[in-house]
Amino acid sequence: MKNLKTMELKMRKEGMSNHAIYAFRQNFLALLEGQTGLVSESEIEPVLELPRFDQIRSDVEVDQVLLAQTAVLKLNGGLGTSMGLDRAKSLLPVKDGLTFLDLIARQILHQRKIYRCKIPFCLMNSFSTQSDTLAFLSRYPDLADGLPLAFLQSKVPKIEVETFNQISWPENEGLEWCPPGHGDLYPSLLDSGLLNTFLEQGISYLFVSNADNLGARLDPEILRYFAESEFPFMMEVAERTSADRKGGHLALRKSNGRFLLRESAQCAEVDLESFQDTQRHRFFNTNNLWIHLEALKDRLDTEGGFLPLPLIRNSKTVDPQKSDSPKVYQLETAMGSAIEVFSGAGALVVSRDRFAPVKTTSDLLTLRSDAYTLGKDFTMCRSEDCLVLPRVSLDQAYYGRTADFETLFAQGVPSLKNCEQLLVQGPVRFAQGVVCQGKVSIVNLATEIKELDRGVYSSEVLL
């Protein structure tokens, strides 16, 4: 407990709110009690059927009254360190020279114009992304429209595994801290004052999604369904495929019949086979969430300013770039886990078009290729002549860092609209005019870079 008091004092000196400190305290006490956040297969049941977006669609005109009561929030705390970035991933060019933030801003401004209503917009930034993000968005002066354009999520101590104290790392003191996961959205939204501001301005609904998911935009038909269903909380889910075996899935808790979200970090090794069984657990969380703000405010007031979300104990090294640095626990929560907190929460199955995140350079290549097109509304969607989105796997040893990726695709990205699968092994520099069709493997077993010439490829190529 002495460790806890010391860490709480440090958080207070760093400017963290009482709600953020209280939320950390609950997670730290759970850690001390031996809680790991694991959800066993015996505790849950699979979700068999859910309403689907294509079933709820109608020819009803867009409800401008509902749109005027809705705000959009994007999570923008990620630096993209896994891709070798040291600033906000949303500043990375993704299509036609436009960054994630360019496209997000233009989506919002476009919708305000065509729907003729305000649609408040804001970002939840981390301490690492705040300054760069606000500087970049100064080129869109109309985006804020009288409201704060961003608020900060909190930060919490990294816990040294052996001592259960905050890790000390003098060579980079910033690495002694970490974000507490995007479950921090709820207390941070309250502490920023934005939750109360929204409610005072008659905003009843909030659509939340990740900044790196350009398929996620405010959809009037989903909004109508959410409002008419009177859900306090709703999660958009999509059908799992073999490519989604490691992602969090939706399930039902046997003890209360409520939906829950089980992330991979919450799955014990003994249950891994069931977790990855996409026929058993059919739906994954897109992290596109719809929240009734009055219901959220009521629950936050009841719980003392934060939501009691399940602990996720992530084991890391204090310096993510140094695998031999000391081991730490990062105590996190997932915002999608709130689906279990709200009685009567719902879920809706949507198409993969609403889920196009960039977690790796393989994802980035897919979005930059002709498999995706940029709509007039600035939303990324699958090209009309692309029947199946390609599964791209780039050798992370040579393409994992964005700088290396840009070098090897400096002459242009390949055509992938007729490609089912692209596997690249070894360092290969792609020429302009490369077309991949069907299942393609490009293999360079050497360590020096080799060139892939212009042409059409439809099988394995050994360079």
When computed from its CA atoms, the radius of gyration of the chain, rounded to whole angstroms, is 22
Strands 455-457 and 434-443: parallel
Q: Which residues contact 146 (CB under 8 A, 6 or more apart)?
A: none
Give DSSP secondary structure letters for 362-401.
HHHHHHHSTTEEE-TTS-EEE-TT-SS--EEEE-HHHHSS
Least trusted range by pLDDT, from 9-18, 239-248, 355-364, 421-430? 239-248
Q: Is the pLDDT of residue 59 over 80?
A: no
What are φ and ψ of residue 61, in 5° steps?
-65, 155
pLDDT for 403: 94
Q: Is the pLDDT of residue 299 over 90?
A: yes
Q: Is the pLDDT of residue 322 over 90?
A: no
Q: For residue 346, what pLDDT band results from cuts at 50, 70 and 90?
A: very high
The Cα–Cα gap between 305 and 195 comes to 12
Tell me the angle at which helices 130-137 and 100-115 cross, rounded to the nearest 10 degrees. Answer: 50
Q: Is the pLDDT of residue 284 over 80?
A: yes
Give all domains of the chain, ordered by start, each with its CATH number. Answer: 2-354 (3.90.550.10), 361-462 (2.160.10.10)
The Cα–Cα gap between 450 and 384 comes to 33
Asked whether the beta carbons of 23 and 187 are under 8 A apart, the reply is yes
Asked whether the beta carbons of 350 and 212 are under 8 A apart, the reply is no
Mean pLDDT of 276-296: 95
Q: Which residues contact 376 (CB under 8 A, 6 or more apart)?
A: 110
pLDDT tens digits, 443-453: 999 999 999 99
Q: What's the mean pLDDT when you consider all of the chain?
A: 93
pLDDT for 328: 95
Tell me the angle at which helices 2-13 and 18-32 cross, rounded to the nearest 10 degrees. Answer: 150
Which helix (H) or strand (E) element contains residue 112? helix 100-115
Residues facing 253 on adjacent strands: 44
The three-state secondary structure class of 411 is coil
SS3 content of the chain, % helix, strand, coil (to 5): 35, 25, 40
Q: What is the pTM of this model?
A: 0.93
pLDDT for 80: 79
Q: For residue 248, what pLDDT band results from cuts at 50, 70 and 90?
A: confident
Q: Is the pLDDT of residue 199 over 80?
A: yes
pLDDT for 2: 81
Structure tokens at 250: 């939706």
Mean pLDDT of 295-311: 93
pLDDT for 323: 86
The Cα–Cα gap between 29 and 25 comes to 6
For 112, 157, 250, 283, 347, the CA distances from 50, given in Å and listed in that order, are 31, 39, 11, 9, 7
pLDDT for 130: 92
pLDDT for 325: 93
Give percent of the chain with pLDDT exceeding 90: 79
- CA angle, residues 374, 72, 124, in degrees to nearest 5: 100
Length in residues, the chain: 463
Ranked by mean pLDDT, which of 117-121, 231-235, 385-389 comes out on top? 231-235
Structure tokens at 62: 């867009």
pLDDT for 6: 93
Q: Which residue has the higher pLDDT, 380 or 294?
A: 294
Residue 410 has a CB neighbour count (10 Å cut-off) of: 10
pLDDT tens digits, 64-116: 899 999 999 999 988 777 788 878 899 999 998 999 999 999 999 999 999 99
